[in-house]
A = this chain, B = another copy of it.
Amino acid sequence: MNKSSTFDPDTLTPGARRILDTAAELFYENGITAVGVDLVAARSGVTKRTLYNRFGSKDTLVATYLLERDRRWRALVMRCVDARTAAVERIVAPFEALREWSADNPRGCAFINALAELPDPGHPAHRIALDEKRWLRDLFERSAEQAGAEHPADLSERLFCLHEGALAMQATAPDVDGAHIAAGLAHEVARAAL
């Protein structure tokens, strides 16, 4: 029995796993509101009844989708950060992660899109999306501190701004490699602040 607003994406029944994979693809590609549970169930090769038996509600399915995406993104970022030793390189590592991530995710940031689609601040997706952003800002700040930056908070806010800009550019300027541009700027900003 799970009454919470999300499920642990790592411990799912086979059917639930297929549902979540299908939902992740459909929600990201076509938008959360535009995709109905009937479609998710049909494309998963599963009954709608199973979907509700596993997830309880569409909102919970949406939240679980975002939660898993969050975990995958954080893991990728930490892999990039840990692979580097130089202070500046560690600071800008999330931008390298973003370049990798962007290749498979051309429709911008799933969390920003979710915030836009679900205006109700009480929706569980809000907390997940805001937590993800907060986590990245804090990571920037920790890296800046460890690099000996004079004003780690200022630097982290600047880097975060560049990161959000790169993500937004995927949707608003598809002809330009936003992640590449932001990465270049991030290097300069970080070097200047150290």
Chain A residues with a Cβ under 8 A of chain B: 29-31, 33-34, 107-109, 111-113, 115-119, 129-130, 133, 137, 157-158, 160-169, 171-173, 176, 178, 181-182, 184-185, 188-189, 192
Point out the residue from B34, B119, B165 that lies within 8 Å of A165, measured CB to CB: B165
- Contact check, B161 vs A185: say whether CB atoms are below 8 A apart: yes
Interchain CB contact under 8 A, A33 and B117: yes
Known: A112-B171, A137-B173, A173-B137. A31 touches B164 (CB 8 A): no
Instruction: Name 20 extra pairs, CB < 8 A, besides A30-B119, A164-B172.
Output: A29-B119, A31-B116, A33-B33, A107-B119, A108-B112, A108-B116, A111-B172, A129-B172, A133-B172, A157-B173, A157-B176, A157-B181, A160-B165, A160-B173, A161-B162, A161-B169, A162-B165, A164-B164, A168-B168, A185-B189
Give the residue among A30, A130, A137, A157 with the most B Cβ atoms within 10 A.
Answer: A157
